[in-house]
Structure 1
Amino acid sequence: MAHIDYYFSTMSPFTYLAGTTLEQIAARHGATITYKPLDIVALFARTGGVAPADRHPSRQSYRAQEMQRQARKREMPMNPKPAHFPTNSAPSSYAIIAAQSDGAGDLGALAHGFTRAVWAEDRDIAQDDVIRECLDAAGFDPALADSGLLTGAETYAANLEEAVKVGVFGAPFYVADSGQLFWGQDRLDDLDAHLAGKL
């Protein structure tokens, strides 16, 4: 059975644009997924990247255009200048880590719910009520927002260290157990083909 380590940020626009395509691909190939939310700004700093606000204006302009093009292509609503970006992604990431341990709901829906809250709903995913509502909507106990905070913090930090070690430098990032790396929501077709043995 194939396995995918999924590195992402709950405030990443391109993670939002990935939707739940990864979960569909995994289901098609009988693959399992481990969700590994991480601090994307810290990842950029560790791997030679630059936070969006600190990039050259030409890069910022291109990023804004590309976000809107990809959203239209996928017929997904998107606010290119959301009210709560950047925000603290740690609390929502801890909730995903706790939910993964709990195993009761839909992790793909939860991860997408957080990114959708930022990029389509102008909600602040650092707020407890938003985290609880996203947990509930994905079939998890909202009380998970209050549990496992220490474990969540430790795992969140460990995900960053592991990401750097295996060659991850952005989000979303997919690492197949074959050792093949796929960066960006626009590489999901390649991941699909790889799992099918075609690439």
Structure 2
Amino acid sequence: MPHIDYYLATISPNCYFAGTRPAEVAAKHGCTITYRPLDIMGLFARTGGTPPGQRHPSRQEYRLIEIERTAELLGVSVNAKPAFWPTNPAPSSYAVIAAQAAGGGDVGALVAGLTAACWRDEKNIAEDEVIKACLESAGFDPSLADSGLLSGAEAYEANLEDAVNAGVFGAPFFVTDDGARFWGQDRIDALDRHLAG
């Protein structure tokens, strides 16, 4: 059975724009998917990227234009400058890791819910109440937000190392079990075609 490693950042606007499409593509091809949240700022530091706030003003301005343009293209609402961004992505990432380990819910819906809470709903995804609401909405026990913190931290760190070793440098980033790599929410169609052969 084919497999996708989905490297993501819960504070990434492009992971918000990806929504549940990665899960839909995986299901279409009978493919398993592992959600691998990571520290995107740590990834930038390791792979030559520049955090948005440190980019040249022209790049910062164009980034906002592209966020608005992409939202319009996809027909979704977005706040290009969300009230709680950047925020600490670790708590929401640990929740994704714990939910995936526990099973019983929809991890794709959880990732979509967390990113939407940040980029659409003006909520702070570092806060327990927000994380618990997203867990519950995706069919998970909200108490998962209070458990597995050590194992979550270890997996979060391991995801960053694995990402660097796999040639990942941004999010969303998809790596298939045959080594194909796809960067960006606008490459999900290419991932789909690859899985179709």
TM over 0.5: yes
Q: Secondary structure at the match of 1:69?
A: helix
The Cα shift of 1:178 comes to 1.0
The Cα shift of 1:87 comes to 0.1
Letter of the 1:53 partner, please give it: G
TM-score by length of 2: 0.99
Would you say 1:72 and 2:72 are equivalent positions?
yes
The Cα shift of 1:62 comes to 1.2
The Cα shift of 1:129 comes to 0.4
Indicate the residue corresponding to 1:162 in structure 2: 162
- Could you list the runs of 4 or more consecutive aligned residues of structure 1 that deviate by over 6 angstroms after TM superposition? none
Indicate the residue corresponding to 1:193 in structure 2: 193
Letter of the 2:128 partner, please give it: D
Would you say 1:110 and 2:107 are equivalent positions?
no
Would you say 1:15 and 2:15 are equivalent positions?
yes
Indicate the residue corresponding to 1:178 in structure 2: 178
Aligned residues: 197
Aligned equivalents of 1:138, 1:24: Cα separation in 2: 15
Letter of the 2:135 partner, please give it: L
Aligned equivalents of 1:30, 1:159: Cα separation in 2: 24
Q: Secondary structure at the match of 1:145?
A: helix
- More divergent stretch after superposition (81-90 vs 62-71): 62-71
Aligned equivalents of 1:178, 1:69: Cα separation in 2: 33
Aligned equivalents of 1:26, 1:164: Cα separation in 2: 23
Letter of the 2:190 partner, please give it: D
Indicate the residue corresponding to 1:97 in structure 2: 97
Q: Name the Cα RMSD after superposition.
A: 0.5
Letter of the 2:19 partner, please give it: G
Letter of the 2:131 partner, please give it: I
The Cα shift of 1:177 comes to 0.7
Would you say 1:148 and 2:172 are equivalent positions?
no
Aligned equivalents of 1:19, 1:147: Cα separation in 2: 25
Sequence identity of aligned pairs in percent? 62
Letter of the 1:118 partner, please give it: C
Q: Is there any run of 5+ residues in structure 2 with no aligned partner, and where?
A: none
Aligned equivalents of 1:14, 1:60: Cα separation in 2: 15
The Cα shift of 1:58 comes to 1.1
Q: Secondary structure at the match of 2:50?
A: coil
The Cα shift of 1:171 comes to 0.4
